[in-house]
Amino acid sequence: MRFVLATANPDKAREIEAVLREAHQGIELVARPDDVAEVDETGETLEDNARLKAGALCAATGLPAIADDTGLEVDALGGAPGVHSARYAGAGATYDANVARLLAELDGLPLERRTARFSTVAVARWPGGLEVAALGSVDGLVTATPRGANGFGYDPVFVPIAGDGRTFGEMTAEEKHVHSHRGEAFRTLAQGLRVVDETENSTGGTS
């Protein structure tokens, strides 16, 4: 199965490729063509944005496409940054700038009030309109200061509850994939793609 990958973020692309490669040997991902522009994320939810990006890329290329959207929802901030996570400090903001704004807004809050969840919605879309979607979500806490040099984005300030007390930034890529929202979402997506693949092989096509 061959898909065009919507994201232009190399960090995210590496994670997606690693998880899908392990979960489904038959998936091949290719980069979005340079002449196909990124889609504005105008949706109100992560699912809206993932569907929007997958649908637009599929329409532009005529090929099956995979897209996702990820957000960090902090309870003390009413669910922010949420769908605005990638640009929390403004359009084109760096990872460090987004983290700095988040930590400034949580400054002074004790750890027990820094509860949050990381969520990813992944969507595969075919030209005929068939769509498979998957959700991954992990509960955790936002630290007062960054810890660890691995990962990207908010990884150095997010400790998954189900982990061992380390931030995603302190984990290896393989360890993060086991615990992370993106790992869960794309493992679940791979299961759905396997079903589609089996159905396609038995019927001779994908609608």
pLDDT at residue 155, rounded to an integer: 98
Instruction: Catalytic residue, from 35, 40, 68, 69: name it.
Output: 69
Q: What b/e sequence results for 53-87 when a residue is b if at least 16 CB atoms lie within 10 Å of its CB, and e otherwise?
A: bbbbbbebbebbbbbbbbbbbbeebeebbbbebbe
Q: What are the distances in angstroms from CA 107 to CA 74, 103, 116, 144, 145? A: 13, 6, 15, 7, 10
Residue 69 annotated as catalytic: yes
d(CA 98, CA 175): 24
Domain ranges of the chain: 2-203
pLDDT at residue 147, rounded to an integer: 98
pLDDT at residue 201, rounded to an integer: 63
DSSP strand pairing (28-31 vs 81-82): unpaired
For 147, residues 6+ apart whose C-beta sits below 8 A from its C-beta are 156, 157, 166, 167, 169, 170
Over the chain (207 residues), the average pLDDT of each successive run of 10 is: 92 92 85 89 94 96 96 98 96 96 98 98 96 98 98 97 96 94 95 83 59
Name the DSSP class of 67. Answer: E
pLDDT at residue 199, rounded to an integer: 76
Which pTM was predicted? Answer: 0.91
Q: Which CATH class is domain 2-203?
A: alpha beta
Query: Residue 73: what residue type?
Result: E
CA nearest to 9, candidates 82, 94, 80, 88: 94
Q: CA quadruple 30, 18, 158, 94: dihedral positive or negative?
A: negative
* Residues facing 5 on adjacent strands: 31, 66
Q: How far is CA 91 from its chain centroid?
A: 19
H/E stretch holding 203 reads helix 181-203
CA nearest to 172, candidates 139, 148, 154: 148
